[in-house]
Structure formats: structure tokens, C-alpha cells
Amino acid sequence: MTFLPETGYVPTAEDRAGLDAWFAEYDARSARRDVAGMADMAVFPLSLVSDDSAGEGRTAQWDRERFVATMTGVMGDGAGDIAFESTRTPVFLSPALAVVFTDSTMTADGETRRLRYADVLVKRDGAWAFQTMIQGGWGDTL
């Protein structure tokens, strides 16, 4: 007999609240451009999935040092304000696994950009951490 894991996990209100709290903290660190603090909320090696300017899918795995260096370059020096307005749609695969789809508006230095991305999060020792970042358009930097 083959054992098949149960599918169709229905999250509890506590599951959703925990994930929402995790994202609130991550967004706060992002707004402060606290890249080292953002890295503290990840599992390394971190998987990245994107596509490049030629339309080809790209993947990479980054260690903490690469994440901090790249995100510091992306986020800038912190001289101006940065704010996020996000709508998140989590899909819980289990109590400890979630794929979260995000539609976000980021405003930095008076310029607004719309973002759409997904993250894969895992819960370890009772705390969420992101392990995979998925977003189009970043493949040339991978």
C-alpha cells in the first residue's frame, strides 16, 4: 500500500494571522531598508525563480551574503521613504508550507511601481521563513 499525504489543507485563523504577522514584520524591515533583518527571515540557500530579458526562465540559489549584497543594491541607501501597499493571497499546502501570491504597490522617492510576485514559506520551530522568491523580470541579475 502506498501512503499518500493528505491534500487540501484548510488553514486556521491562527495560521493566517501568523502569516500576516510575518509579512507585516518583513514589510516593516523592507520599509526601513533593513536588508540584514530581511535576511534573518529567510532560509538559506534561498531559491530564486524569474525570467530574463530574452524571455527565458532562470533560477538560482543564493547564500545570505549574495542576498544581502543584491538586495542592498536593489533597495538603495535608505535616503528616501519607501512604503508598500500589498494584497496577499496565501495558499496553505500544510500547516508548515505556504505559497503566497502578492500584488503590491511600492512607493519610493515619490515613484510608484506595481509588483506581482510569489513566495514559498516554510514554518520551522514555530516561525515562518521564506525559502523561495518568484518574480518576473529579474533573471538577468541571477
pLDDT in tens, 18-68: 999 999 999 999 888 899 999 999 999 999 999 999 999 999 999 999 999
Question: Please, what's the b/e burial string for 98-123 (b: 16 or more CB within 10 A of its CB; e: otherwise)?
Answer: bebebeeebebeeeeeeeebbbbbeb
Residue 54 corresponds to which cell in the numbers above? 530574452
**Rounded distance between C-alpha atoms, residue 26 and residue 130, angstroms:** 10
The burial class, CB within 10 Å (0-12 / 13-18 / 19+), for 50 is buried
**Nearest residue to 140 (alpha-carbon basis) of 50, 80, 68:** 50
Domain ranges of the chain: 13-139
Q: What is the pLDDT of residue 125?
A: 92
Write the burial class of residue 89 (CB in 10 Å: 0-12 exposed, 13-18 middle, 19+ buried).
exposed
For the domain spanning 13-139, the CATH number is: 3.10.450.50
pLDDT for 118 beyond 90: yes
CB distance 97 to 117 below 8 Å: no
Reported as a single tens digit per residue, the pLDDT across 103-112 is 999 887 788 9
Give dist(CA 33, CA 52) in Å, integer. Answer: 25
Cβ atoms within 10 Å of 48's Cβ, excluding its own? 21
Strand duo 97-108 + 82-94: pairing: antiparallel
pLDDT at residue number 76:
74
